[in-house]
Amino acid sequence: MIRGWARDWARGWARRRQGADQEPVKLHRRRIYILPTALGAGFGISLFGMLLAAMNYNNSMAFALTFLLAGLGLVTMHWCHQNLSGLVVRSLRLHPTFAGRPAQLELVMENSGQGARHDLEASCAGVRSRPLDLPAGVVASLQLELPTTHRGRLRVDRVGVDTVFPFGLFRAWAWLHPACEGIVYPAPAEHAPPPPAGGPEDAEGQWDEHFGEEDFAGLREFRKGDSPRRIAWKAAARGGALPVKQFTGSPRGSAWLDWDSLPGMPLEQKLSVLCRWVLDAQAGGGTFGLRIPGAQIAPGIGPEHRHRCLSALALYGETADGV
């Protein structure tokens, strides 16, 4: 209990001392903390015992060995601190995920020094990354998989970067306080009813001739949200604007995924079903729109459109969580 209180107090004190961080963050010596590990504490106790024995027997060889090991410990402490000093954290990104699946937090770090850095680790919400060795002048990333339980915003308030290099006698660490948040989509329903059948109409209620599959109607310039499968790659190899194939002659149009088509269903279950419909519609390659209370997203296609629809479902009611 006392240990947990002391840890929370130290973290709060560091947050007040450092404030919020803006990218990029350089770890200078004033924000790096260092303490002996359990192994280091045992090493220090052993040195104290050796010193007492050397003094008791007045043995010069024992004194020499004790001071040699003490000097090694001091050098180890210096290099452990130096392993973090000057490290640059370029960015922190929390990738979207679905409720119940881990959210990947990515730290992009740069070693701007002239020497390699070893055994770098990151931690957040009790989760630790794998150790990373970072050669001089290299940019690399550490990944953490944060647990999620429900949909909404997932905020990261504090991330730790630490190392026990070179011998594990000391642990040096720094805390980052980024303005970082990600989206946790609703968990897609495993067994969802089929969406209501829609007619071949677009958002204006007119026949949509641009998303057929039967007759080739020519090429046009690429527009944001176009599917990569419709790009004319052979024509694109000649240079110029990216061409996209157009088709006509199919009764296929835009589908609406409507909140009101699921009456009497509990809130979270309804969001899960709509999430499944969005994923299935995206996989089918057609255009689709989303209607939920307070928001309407016009029909579209592509990863960005999928993200907009899933984000609207995730933030319905503005639930939030933090780690």
Whether 158 shows a pLDDT value over 80: the answer reads: yes
Asked whether 301 and 285 are in contact (CB, 8 A), the reply is: yes
CA 116 to chain centre: 25
**Mean pLDDT, to the nearest integer, of 39-59?**
95
Q: What is the mean pLDDT of residues 189-218?
A: 56
Q: Is the pLDDT of residue 320 over 50?
A: no
Residue 281 CA to residue 287 CA, distance in Å, equals: 8
Structure confidence at residue 212 (pLDDT): 46
* Mean per-residue pLDDT, 232-243: 71
Segment 170-190, tens digit of pLDDT: 999 999 998 889 999 999 998
203 and 308, same structural domain? yes
pLDDT of residue 200: 39
Q: What is the pLDDT of residue 211?
A: 44
Residue 62 within a domain: yes
pLDDT at 30: 87
Both 13 and 128 in one domain: the answer is yes
Region 232-240: what's the mean pLDDT?
70
- 199 and 154 share a domain? no
Same domain for 85 and 200?
A: no
Rounded Cα distance between 185 and 280, Å, is: 15
Q: Quote the domain boundaries for residue 259.
A: 186-208+253-323
**Mean pLDDT score of the chain, rounded to an integer?**
84
Number of compact structural domains in the chain: 2
User: Do 124 and 203 reside in the same domain of the chain?
Assistant: no
Query: Is pLDDT above 70 for 198?
Result: no
Same domain, 260 and 309: yes
Cα–Cα distance measured from residue 34 to residue 37, given in angstroms and rounded to the nearest whole number: 9
Q: Evaluate whether residue 49 is within a structural domain.
A: yes
Say whether both 117 and 22 belong to one domain. Answer: yes
Helices 303-314 & 267-284 angle (0-180, nearest 10): 180
Q: Tell me: the pLDDT tens digits for 206-222?
A: 334 344 444 555 676 76
